């Protein structure tokens, strides 16, 4: 897939701003509501958001480093890689949600959580917005980033940004579903 770089970056910024708005709305809810779980195996809304915090703690520094160390110049178009596009597409829910296993270190199940989780998430999203803005200065296709599941695989910066935003969207939708929204 191919996008105009400027349009892709603007879309990622708008999606991230929309996610921030939704999470700010969660702050009006009680801790009991935010910690409610339909079943023992399901995550609460706060567990969904904490999962995203754990990923942000990995991806935000990795993305910053990739941009800072990139020796590339921006280009007009971004071309997605096969693996990167696969990962991004796998994040979007189908009619029946495709369940995915998460790594143990990114699984918040059973944690004691409060609204501070939401504040941390919003802070991480503002950092992500700064990273997305900084990505305008490099080539999204040629700049590579590490990913959380393997040190051997590197994705194009544009694909990693798309993945992170799609992953955030997925779990905020999951949190909303848990909250009955």
User: Is the distance from CB of 144 to CB of 63 less than 8 angstroms?
Assistant: no
pTM for the predicted model, two decimal places: 0.92
CATH code for the part of the protein at 2-178: 1.20.120.450
Separation of alpha carbons 28 and 21, rounded Å: 12
β-strand partners of 144: 156
User: Is the distance from CB of 51 to CB of 135 less than 8 angstroms?
Assistant: no
The pLDDT profile of the chain, 181 residues, written as one tens digit per residue, is: 899 999 999 999 999 999 999 999 999 999 999 999 988 888 999 999 999 999 999 999 999 999 999 999 999 999 999 999 999 998 886 655 566 566 665 566 777 799 999 999 999 999 999 999 999 999 999 999 998 877 788 999 999 999 999 999 999 999 999 998 7
Separation of alpha carbons 111 and 64, rounded Å: 29
């Amino acid at each position: 897939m191919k996008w105009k770089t400027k349009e892709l970056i603007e879309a990622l910024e708008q999606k991230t701003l929309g996610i921030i708005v939704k999470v700010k709305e969660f702050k009006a809810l009680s801790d009991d509501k935010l910690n409610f779980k339909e079943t023992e195996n399901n995550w609460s809304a706060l567990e969904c958001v904490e999962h995203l915090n754990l990923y942000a703690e990995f991806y935000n520094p990795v993305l910053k480093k990739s941009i800072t160390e990139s020796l590339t110049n921006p280009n007009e178009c971004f071309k997605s890689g096969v693996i990167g596009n696969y990962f991004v597409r796998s994040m979007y829910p189908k009619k029946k949600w495709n369940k995915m296993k998460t790594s143990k270190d990114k699984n918040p199940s059973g944690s004691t959580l409060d609204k501070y989780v939401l504040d941390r998430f919003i802070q991480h999203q503002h950092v992500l917005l700064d990273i997305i803005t900084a990505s305008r200065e490099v080539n999204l296709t040629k700049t590579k980033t590490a990913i959380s599941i393997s040190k051997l695989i590197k994705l194009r910066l544009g694909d990693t940004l798309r993945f992170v935003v799609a992953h955030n969207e997925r779990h905020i939708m999951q949190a909303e579903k848990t909250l009955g929204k």
